[in-house]
Chains A and B, each alone.
Chain A
Amino acid sequence: MTCGKMVMRLLRQYLPCLAMTLLVAIVGEPCRAQDSADVAKVIVPFVVKHCVKCHGAEKPKAGLSLHTFKDAKGILKERKLWDAALQQIESGEMPPTKQPQPTADEKAAFAKSVRAIYSKADTGKPDPGQNLIRRLTRTEFANTVRDLLQLDLDFHPEHELPTDTVTHGFENNAEALTISPVLLDRYIVAAQMVAERAIRAEFPKREVLTGTDLGPDYRGAPKEVPAAKVLETLTALAEAKPKDALVRYRLARAHAAAYGQKSGTVKVIPGKESEGVWFGFNPQHLPFEVSRIDDPAKLKAANEHLERATARYREVIRLEPENLSARLGLAWSLLHAGDKATAIAEFRATLDAAWIKEKELRPVDWKTTSIVREGTSHLTALLDKQADAKEIKALNERSEQLRKSSESSPWRHYRLLDSSGGLPEFTGPLFVDGQSRGIVREPPVLQYGNTDEFLFRVTLFAEQGSGPVRVAVFMGGPGLPEYSTAEERDQILGELKHREIQSIKILKITEVTARSIEAPQQIEIPISRRGRSGPIGILGIALIKPKNDPSPIRLHFKFEGEGPLLPVSHNHVLACSPDKSQAEQTREIIGRLLPRAFRRPVTKDEIEAVAQFADRAVANGKKWEVGMQHALMAMLCSPNFLFRAELDDRPDSAEPHPIGEFELASRLSYFLWSSLPDDELFKLAGEKKLSANLEAQVRRMLKDPRSIALVDNFALKWLRLDSLRTHQVDAKLFPNFDKDLREAMQQETQWFLHNMLREDRSLLELIDANYTFLNSRLGNHYRIADTLGNPSGAKVDKKGDPIPRDRFVRVQLQGSERGGILTSASLLMTTSPPTRTSPVKRGAWILENILGTPPPPPPPDVPELDQKETKVTTLRERLEQHRANAACAGCHSKIDPLGFAFENYDAVGVFRTKEANKNIDVSGTLPDGRKINGMVDLKKALLADKEKFARHVTEKMLTYALGRGVEYYDKRAIDRIVSEVAKDDFKFSRMVIAIVQSEPFRLRRGKDQAQ
């Protein structure tokens, strides 16, 4: 036996600390008499006699030197190490059997002395450690300005800031949060961006947008531009950004236009340039209309040109005579599906009147719709309401043909939904007739892009028999802050199963009193970006179920948007009393904002200093709004904002004393929200009632959506799942893996963890749970079909609801394949190399992140597993070979069995029972002799020592909550937290509450007592 396994395991973790201990030992300090006597009389002689031969100064085994410990403090600082040593000595594991053994008395005296040091430390006065002034992290900066100024969630000032360094596992470590000139420079830039975003110096011109124009391209009128000019511009653009799909299609259209347009001009619909990388295919972004190319020679030339232009892309776009004819080729193709098809190809584009006439289409205005749908990007066509089932079938067949014939083309997954089965979408025409029975069965929906704030206006009137007509205006989309419940949605008339209607928020329910087209009624709702993290999917209107009134209702309506409006932040920040003078208004606003920005009451002088910026700008002839931007910028650059400083009337006192109420509010809010205290916390702190109400406040804060910060900045970092974003997966071996799946994996984990906070679940559910959150993409990956967790394709007694595509829903899990973090795809993937699984990585992950005992590094010169040269085939056999080497066995006997238990999950987390046509063996023996066979047993084994797990989570969370590494003097607080958590069924909230009530969280002191 070379060295103690336990010691070896602890070695790496504590080596740095050992180095520090050495320093302390050299510098020295007066020790208390009793301690030093025991250490000198009992502990040191024991160590000298039995340990230092191997663990001394010269080439210490396992790098562990015990000769440096000369006093009680040194031992306390390395308490974990000494715990391990004590355990090994008492169990007889150390000294090794071939060495002289201590007597039982020697051992007992040694153990007693060490424990005496412990117990003395545990009953002394508490040491909360030091809470250093710290800069806001980039994440905290962004959250704080968003909450302070009510900026929208899509605004990311943190992108202007460099990433913060991870220390002790997290980015919020106080000692690391210093500031350098480069950094301060970036914070000033970010402050300016924020100020200009929050306050508008120029007021936008409001425009009314009618249904057909809504979307990002709405601003400005279409204009004619020479095709050659467009071609030139776009070629340059496309070559500058060869990866940009948008540019690619624009290029394609431009080429087509150049060769197809007889007039030599192209109609350009002005719009916003798409920023960043653009996926999918969205007709809203196609700014060109292209005429039909009838001349075969020209078509050929266009195709050749296109082929050259697009040769570098994987997909070569081919033009067919038909698919040039409308703004979107597919629609035209669909038109040719059947002789009687009366569909029109209308994609927010104008069709020329002659063509409409030729096809005998009715004017665009009054029409019901059916839709063509594409997998991800809402490709929508309008069909005349006359389109009957037969026609729809024909169109579907045509669509299917198209799909098959061009697998790589952008229109891959079109499916027409007929009006009885699905939800038709309303995309352009302004009024919608009722159905023949006089009831709008499905709410028409307006597609809307993600633009600025705007006013959504519905103009409507009803025709009906009797009783009041009520309507609901709603919004839908993947990134809404909240969704209406099933009960709320149940008020809506018609089919509710459709997934798009499952993910909506009802904005308003109102009665329609207007009864004629001459005197319609208007509903106006401001649509803000605030609180939303993604684009609006849909806006729509629906009939509310009439009460006891079977008579038909006929509703006519049209949609308009008006915008952009001034952002919410502008109105929020500049709200003030209108009758005051400008200078007074300035001071009123700053007097309101500054205490919140500084997270404490402020002085008159402080307000005045900031107000000067506005005054000076106005004096220099600038608009007042510009002055307020400057004032805001100054406020955000102030160290009182940029740093979290804890004001204290005796900052240098080494005596632990409670922190102030405002300081407590900040510690709380930055711990749970990574943001500033909200109104309620601020008010409670002002009334000095916060410390008396900690538990209630924590519970409230955990339920608040802002607690997602604790998931992102604490939990994902702790579990190392933040590497998901950049994790590489081999595309050949895992062709199904793509960015949507990656995103879904991340979201599942976020949903699961956030739910743990908000519903206050047990921490043990991290290891095993009987529910999770899925969208349909990840559901397919897990082969789970519905919300009851039924397996895909299986015959089942009770079916759950379908899992929506664009939203995560809670799914009950059946069986034991999934549940908890260990079996989540995000973990299974991030612990795998690109091409295969790694039991070693997974085993090491468990040791480090669940058990808190990271393995030491592998020694150099050990080859990785080779796939080619060995005769053995399975990974297990290869690892067994590896373990045959004694140098490896010490650690790998601990790591590998844990890792093998994961082998039923491949490198992207798909469940499997065979690898290379062999049954996978998931059995193993844990170091303590327990045999486990696969994930179920592993979870059981981990759950057998709940407190050990809780202790590890506590240490991690305390590190995050305090923004400093856990120290030896925190042990008492940790013990107490763990025991409280255990008493309360390991509830998540209890851990947070126990932490915020602990001494390190509520007390502070000046310079290190221990120095």
Chain B
Amino acid sequence: MSQHLSRRTVLRGIGAGLALPWLEAMGPLESWVHANDRTPAAPNRLLWLYVPNGMAMPNWTPGEEGPLRDLPPILQEVREFTDNINVLSGLNSLSAERGGGGDHARAIATYLTGVTPLDTTGPNYRAGVSADQAAASRIGDQTRLASLEVGTEENTGFCDFGYHCVYKGTLSWRSPTQPMIKEVRPRLVFDRLFGDNVANRAEHDALRRSILDYVREDSRTLASRLGTEDRRRMDDYLTAIRDIEQRIARAASFPRVERPELAIEPGIPRDFQEHCRLLCDLIVLAFRSDITRIGTFLLTNELSDRAFPEHGIRRGHHGITHDGARAYDELTVVNRFHLRQLVYLLERLKSVREGTGTLLDHCLVCYGSALSDGNGHSKRNLPILLAGNAGGTVRTGRHIRYPAGTPLNNLWLSMLERVDVRVPFLGDSTGSLRGL
């Protein structure tokens, strides 16, 4: 029996105490799925799970199009969920092809943005608005948090050639110059979701508001004494103050979310899988309590060279990919291990009842990498798996092959439509994806 069962039990026990706020208090929601339905409808959620360094593609891609049968070795891991997923082949991140070295950094920075990032190691880094943030900026005000960004590795260590360290560890870009720095420490994620443990919320908010008032005044006085350049930088600060004030005000209008009595230890869990699963649990808690509807999770940073000795993989992940086909066996072990984390997440999503179905039915979880063949740093024919049917708007259980040259960003447009966000284009998209 899994040694994690018990902790999950603990979490489940806690989760049970959480009200599903949109069902109880919020009345019918305008969801594009059931806009005319009389029953309260659950909203859709979008989540991106990212894995680095590409995939052992021959062990990933199903042989034929159509219904998922005869799963290749890596996809064997998700066999229990065959009916809940689609495998998409033929999608490309062509904007990541421009430029010299630094393929890993460029690939991940392009992945959700469809924009070629600026190749710089300086602070003038620049990418595009990522798909999740495009959604967050439009529907984020309907929830306590606009979006949630998590991962397991901080943006330190070796960074890709010619690119700022921020690229390799960032999926989400609020604007081309504002990377959303992910949180890797589960306890801080928890605190972000459920706020601080305060006895008297009203008093706490009042204190915050008065501090923000003071701080705003102080900033104005300070700014008046600064040069033009510095004054401009202070604007960020004033914006942040306003943002928090609005959030406090908005939070008052949302139904109260009970903070689960969950003791998460500070720091980073020593066991990697434990770390991944804890973050999955937190995402599920966030989705089920409608704290946010948008999330990104970097299973590990792009270019990660993590070894998995507990699974017999003693060399680093990145190193293995550069052995090409000769090391597909080893790479497959890593790819399968990563995919098991998705399976865990799907299990958890499926275990949550929502409306007449489960939470998974109102999700679209995109699992994938910005590289296909890691050795050649190929950004074509990317390994992409889409789980959930977004309230029945996606037909699942299929392997779909798209024509050569189809931009990956077309998929993002289609995902955004499922949360009622319609944008004419995103990065290098050419239109939404057909056939979902």
Q: Interface residues, chain A, CB within 8 Å of chain B?
A: 12, 15-16, 19, 63, 130, 132-133, 159-160, 162-163, 165-168, 173, 175-176, 178-186, 188-189, 192, 236, 239-243, 275-277, 312, 606, 609-610, 612-613, 616, 630, 633-634, 637-640, 643, 645, 647-648, 651-652, 720, 722-723, 726, 728, 730-733, 833-835, 856-857, 859-864, 866, 868-869, 965, 1006-1007
Contacts and interface: CB of A to CB of B under 8 A. Distances in A.
Contact of A189 (B183, B196, B218): B196
Contacts of B100: 12, 15, 63, 857
B89 to A, nearest CB: 22
A857 B265 contact: no
Contacts of B159: 166
Contacts of A132: 229-230, 233
B267 A864 contact: no
Nearest to A130: B229
A183 B383 CA distance: 34
Contacts of B162: 12, 15-16, 857
Given A165-B166, A728-B306, A863-B322, A16 B314 contact: no
A501 B365 CA distance: 60
A606 B222 CA distance: 11
Interface of A is mostly: loop
Contacts, number: 232
B323 A857 contact: no
Given A243-B270, A722-B156, A639 B222 contact: yes
Contacts of A861: 324, 375-376
A163 B178 contact: no
A182 B240 CA distance: 8
A648 B9 CA distance: 60
Instruction: Name the interface size band of chain B.
Output: 35 or more
17 contacts: A12-B100, A159-B185, A162-B183, A165-B164, A167-B122, A168-B121, A179-B240, A181-B243, A182-B180, A182-B192, A185-B244, A243-B274, A833-B307, A833-B316, A835-B314, A864-B319, A965-B123
Contacts of A180: 174, 178, 236, 240
B323 A864 contact: yes
B183 A165 contact: no
B297 to A, nearest CB: 16
B191 A189 contact: yes
Interface in B173-192: 174, 178-181, 183, 185, 188, 191-192
The 7 closest A-B pairs by CB, nearest first: A651-B227, A857-B161, A857-B101, A239-B6, A175-B123, A181-B243, A133-B230
Interface in B261-309: 265-267, 270-271, 274, 305-307, 309
B237 A643 contact: yes
Contacts of B324: 861, 863
Given A166-B165, A728-B307, A179 B230 contact: no
B215 interface: yes
Contacts of A130: 229
A651 B214 contact: no
Given A181-B244, A834-B314, A863 B215 contact: no
B391 to A, nearest CB: 29
B10 A240 contact: yes
A639 B309 contact: no
A857 B105 CA distance: 12
Contact of B219 (A12, A240, A613, A639): A639
Contacts of B241: 184
Contacts of A732: 309, 314
B217 interface: yes
B83 interface: no
Nearest to A277: B270
Contacts of B158: 720, 723
B59 interface: no
B353 interface: no
Nearest to A652: B227
B304 to A, nearest CB: 11
B217 A609 contact: yes
Contacts of B210: 613, 616
B226 interface: yes
B7 interface: yes
A183 B375 contact: no
A217 to B, nearest CB: 20
A609 B240 CA distance: 21
Nearest to B155: A165
Residue among B215, B228, B234, B274 with max Cβ neighbours from chain A (10 Å): B215
Nearest to B10: A240
B214 A613 contact: yes
Contacts of A162: 181, 183, 188
A645 B377 contact: no
Contact of A860 (B6, B179, B191, B377): B377
Given A16-B121, A178-B233, 8 more contacts: A163-B181, A181-B244, A184-B237, A606-B218, A610-B214, A640-B222, A728-B309, A861-B375
A130 B207 CA distance: 37
Contact of A637 (B211, B227, B229, B236): B211
Contacts of B181: 162-163, 165, 182
Contacts of A833: 305, 307, 315-316, 319
Contact of B326 (A159, A179, A863): A863
B177 to A, nearest CB: 9
A834 B315 contact: yes
B435 interface: no
Contact of B309 (A240, A638, A731): A731
Contacts of A166: 155-156, 159, 165
Interface in B28-73: none
Contacts of B316: 728, 833-834
A866 B323 contact: yes
Interface string B310-329: 00001110011011101000
A176 B314 CA distance: 36
Contact of A167 (B118, B123, B217): B123
Residue among A133, A648, A723 with max Cβ neighbours from chain B (10 Å): A133
B157 interface: yes
Given A184-B241, A639-B219, A863-B375, A12 B266 contact: no
B21 interface: no
A645 B236 contact: no
A276 B185 CA distance: 13
Contacts of A859: 101
Contacts of A276: 265-267
B271 A243 contact: yes
Contacts of B218: 606, 609, 638-640
B7 A651 contact: no
Residue among B10, B218, B243 with max Cβ neighbours from chain A (10 Å): B218
Contact of B207 (A630, A643, A868): A630
A1007 B166 CA distance: 27
A834 B270 CA distance: 17
B260 interface: no
A581 to B, nearest CB: 23
Nearest to B216: A639
Contacts of A639: 215, 218-219, 222, 234, 237
A56 to B, nearest CB: 16
Nearest to B217: A609
A176 B123 contact: yes
B342 to A, nearest CB: 23
B223 to A, nearest CB: 8
Given A163-B155, A167-B122, A864-B319, A240 B6 contact: yes
B98 interface: no
Contacts of B164: 165, 167
Contacts of A243: 270-271, 274
A13 to B, nearest CB: 8
B356 interface: no
A704 to B, nearest CB: 27
Contacts of A834: 307, 309, 314-316
Nearest to A610: B214
